[in-house]
Amino acid sequence: MAGAHGTGNAHGQKTSVPFFIVLSVVLIGKYGLSGRFLNEWVCAANISYLCWIFLFILESLLQEKSLLNTDLPLFWYISGLLLYTPCTIFVFALSYFISQSKNPFIHNLWIIHEIFNTALYVSFAIGLYKNKTRKYPLMNTVMMVT
């Protein structure tokens, strides 16, 4: 049964990576790397992160794995990314509008993005701490296998 569900994840991988590569080539070809900031590229990267996270969560749920265990480092990594990526997509999709707006409240969107960016790093730090304090940290498991 797990093999049947694995094909959805493989299909997502096969479509998202080439799509991102083609979009990257088009954006870099059209604007170059020094012409202007490629906010579309940031949005595309974060959309692909979000898709991969959702595919991972779907795969885990279909295999009946529990991801809502706060003792697992992976919970903290995924939580941080799930907070950060939608905010980043929203802010960078509107970056031109934000920079041109005369409304000072609109400029606070960058502050909100910074808060979510900080939450991402705090969440990663908690995940690293959880990994360090586990009985069998991920790094030790990898070292024992090789």
Residue 60: the pLDDT is 84
User: Hey, where are the domains in the chain?
Assistant: 1-65, 67-146
Q: How far apart are CA 114 and CA 99, in angstroms?
A: 16
pLDDT along the chain (146 residues), means of 10: 48 70 82 79 89 87 81 91 95 92 90 96 95 72 40
Whether the CA torsion 70, 87, 29, 14 is positive or negative: it is positive
What stretches of 1-146 adopt beta strand conformation (E)? none
According to DSSP, residue 38 is labeled -
Contact 117, 84 (CB under 8 A): yes
Question: How many Å is the Cα radius of gyration of the chain?
Answer: 19
pTM (predicted TM-score): 0.73
